[in-house]
Amino acid sequence: MADATERDPAELLIPHRRRRTRIGLVSGGLGAYWPQFPGLLEQLQDSARYVTERFQGMEADVIDAGFVSDATDAGKAGEKLRVADCDLVVIFVATYLTSSMVLPIAQKANAPVLIIDLQPTEKMDHASFDTGQWLAYCGQCPIPEIANVFRRAGIGFRSVSGHLRQESAWTRIGHWIAAAGVRARLREARHGLMGHLYPGMLDVSTDLTTVSTTFGSHIEVLEFDDLRERVAEVTDAETSERVALARKLFQLDQSVESDDLEWAAKVSVGLDRLVADFDLDSVAYYHRGLAGELHERLGAAMILGSSLLTARGIPMAGEYELRTSIAMLVAQALGAGGSFTEIQALNFDDGVVEMGHDGPAHLAISARDPLLRGLGVYHGKRGWGVSVEFDVRHGPVTTIGLGQDPDGSYVLVTSEGTVVDGPLLQIGNTTSRVDFGVDPGEWVDAWSRTGIGHHWALAVGHRSAEVRAAAELLGLDHRTVSR
């Protein structure tokens, strides 16, 4: 391994990604127009090239199925996109086309579809336009037709209408691309579940089958023995390197004992191997242990390694919180971090909800250099060791959680607020003061009625629009608590 003094700590903040989002793209218009209006097809193809260039500038792989002029072309395009296994198919309606040209694409592609109709400019020049020039502006005409047919066919309909260089329209399109990234991340994710349920936390209990049937994710059931054996193989040199790295990434409080830091570093290296060996995208874990035995010591030493993995985009959630590790992965897929969070207290004078957790934290969204604090006791848990302390970057944030309804179905839940400055507890927790613009008690009441459990992800930025889009692509309800 490289010498610890030569390693760049930023390496641990490079997001893990299984693959890039795959966006299928097809453009089209009614072929009957081409012989009638010379130059129209070429104008629309120019618009289609601009659309393709905009998509190619996004964080996604674009599979361009070309420009279609009739239902036969559309069937071929749909087949190409089916083979590509797209996360989202975008159909650019450049001018009027019949719904028979759109339906086969949606049916064959086997992916959610977004219809976009972007006319060339803000408005027509009515005094000079002829019929051919007008037709370049009538992409909106078939949108109700397509929506009607999709509804009758049981296909989800979503659209963005605007003009080619309208940035607000491209922002809305961007929400759908981000949502497709969430869908891509979840449908191929491998979630590790290690240990057992924290006794009595009935809200945390999750049916593993419904996770796979809802998202397409795989659940890998792990034992703490899997971690124990990998930690046992960690060398003194590897442990020393991880200690040196921790000293670079964290401020160390004087309460940190060197033996505890070395043990946490050794467990961190073992965690890295566990995640690599099982090819995991997230891990939810908990083990109670007893009387200082090895498994108790492993469970108590997870925070350092889990925080490093979370910073790399592999969320780690304590207390066996599988649904929250999934919510953290949603936040990570949106580029918004996502730190393990619960309510800690309310400050009615300042109008803020204090929230955070002891345990894994997303270092990449810390407001300052994170602190390692030594704890002789973890509240409600056995063991002792080092814990992470910081507050999330000040500014806009979103709480993102995965709730559950009485029928067992999942719901994505969000609330947008602002992390503000102010006094924080110094107890080795990741505490942030969040102003949701309403009375803190009223926020707690409204948030608790959504179906959320008592854990969620705290993400940077206002992300409700993207999460709402992701929920639609995943076939879930979305609920939000706003001021």
pLDDT in tens, 431-444: 899 999 999 999 99
Asked if residue 272 has pLDDT above 50, the reply is: yes
Q: What percent of the chain has pLDDT over 90?
A: 77
Please tell me the distance from the alpha carbon of residue 73 to that of residue 30, in angstroms, as a whole number: 11
Question: Comparing C-alpha atoms, which of 88, 104, 98, 68 is closest to residue 160?
Answer: 88
Asked if residue 3 has pLDDT above 50, the reply is: no
Whole-number mean pLDDT of the chain? 92
Instruction: Say if residue 144 is in the same domain as residue 231.
Output: no
Could you give the C-alpha distances from 133 to 27, 165, 190, 229, in angstroms and in order?
A: 18, 18, 51, 71
Asked if residue 69 has pLDDT above 90, the reply is: yes
In terms of residue numbers, what domain contains 60?
21-186
Please tell me the distance from the alpha carbon of residue 400 to that of residue 403, in angstroms, as a whole number: 10
Q: Which pLDDT band, with edges at 50, 70 and 90, does 371 fall under? A: confident
Span 274-296, mean pLDDT? 90
Is residue 327 situated within a structural domain?
yes
Cα-to-chain-centroid distance, residue 33: 43
Q: By the 8 A CB rule, do 295 and 289 touch?
A: yes
Alpha helix segments (H runs only) across 285-438:
294-300, 302-311, 322-333
- CATH code assigned at 212: 3.20.14
Domain end (from 186, 213, 245): 186
Could you give the C-alpha distances from 320 to 1, 210, 284, in angstroms and in order?
A: 32, 16, 5
- CATH code assigned at 164: 3.40.50.10940
Q: Which is higher by pLDDT, 476 or 290? A: 476
Low-confidence winner among 16-20, 73-77, 384-388 (lowest mean pLDDT):
384-388
**What total of structural domains would you count in the chain?**
2
Quick one: pLDDT at residue 370?
87
Asked if residue 327 has pLDDT above 80, the reply is: yes
Asked if residue 7 has pLDDT above 80, the reply is: no
Span 43-55, mean pLDDT? 96
Instruction: Say if residue 77 is in the same domain as residue 209.
Output: no
Asked if residue 2 has pLDDT above 60, the reply is: no
Quick one: pLDDT at residue 4?
41
Is residue 92 situated within a structural domain?
yes
Asked if residue 310 has pLDDT above 60, the reply is: yes
Quick one: pLDDT at residue 384?
56
- Residue 225 contacts by C-beta under 8 Å, 6 or more apart in sequence? none
Asked if residue 9 has pLDDT above 60, the reply is: no
The pTM of this model reads 0.91
Question: Comparing C-alpha atoms, which of 178, 208, 182, 172 is closest to residue 193?
Answer: 208
Quick one: pLDDT at residue 456?
96
Residue 469 tokens read as 């889009």
Question: Comparing C-alpha atoms, which of 49, 151, 46, 140 is closest to residue 93?
Answer: 140
Please tell me the distance from the alpha carbon of residue 111 to that of residue 79, in angstroms, as a whole number: 12
Span 298-303, mean pLDDT? 88
Is residue 8 situated within a structural domain?
no
Is residue 174 situated within a structural domain?
yes
Please tell me the distance from the alpha carbon of residue 224 to that of residue 202, in angstroms, as a whole number: 22
Instruction: Say if residue 177 is in the same domain as residue 203.
Output: no
